[in-house]
Amino acid sequence: MKNYKHSYTELAKIGNRYYGDTNFCSVLAIAVVADISYGKAFHAYKREGRRVRTGTHLYTQNQVLKGFNLKTEIDWDKMQIYQRKTLNNVLRDCKRWTGRYLVYVRGHVLAVRDGVCEDWTAEGSRRQVVTIYKVS
């Protein structure tokens, strides 16, 4: 399977233009952490029952990741530091992170791949961090 390293803007453009999709933060985050195309992530979510232009639940996201032989585990070290802090704190410090992470805030998920935040919130957000998962 070919590995893709698309940025958030490229993936969002593909989702809007070719799939007519919105509310796709989890699809983009999975495409980034799994190094797959938007289409593969989109169709994996569709197989799990996601409707176009709707969000997803954590269970569905884990099922999709399992389909790509990836699993998540809570990164307790990062959770002790960032729980109840804003996303701005994570974005400031994530440049030193290695690996792939899913950062959950209420109603949204974003991907961090090797210190680069791939999301529209990369410019800053005052949303409060709920959980941080390491993807392996």
Sole residue written with tokens 């802090």: 85
- Per residue of the chain (136 residues), what is the pLDDT tens digit? 678 889 999 999 999 999 999 999 999 999 999 999 999 999 999 999 999 999 999 999 999 999 999 999 999 999 999 999 999 999 999 999 999 999 999 999 999 999 999 999 988 899 999 999 999 9
In whole angstroms, what is the distance from residue 71 CA to residue 112 CA?
15
User: What is the model's pLDDT at position 40?
Assistant: 96
Measured in whole angstroms, the distance separating CA 35 from the mean position of its chain's CA atoms is: 11
User: What is the model's pLDDT at position 2?
Assistant: 77
5's CB contacts (< 8 A; 6+ apart) are: 35, 113
User: What is the model's pLDDT at position 114?
Assistant: 96
Is residue 78 a contact partner of residue 112, using CB atoms and an 8 Å limit?
no
pTM of the model: 0.95
Amino acid at 89: N
Q: Which residues of 20-29 are buried (b: 16+ CB within 10 A; e: fewer)?
A: ebebbbbbbb
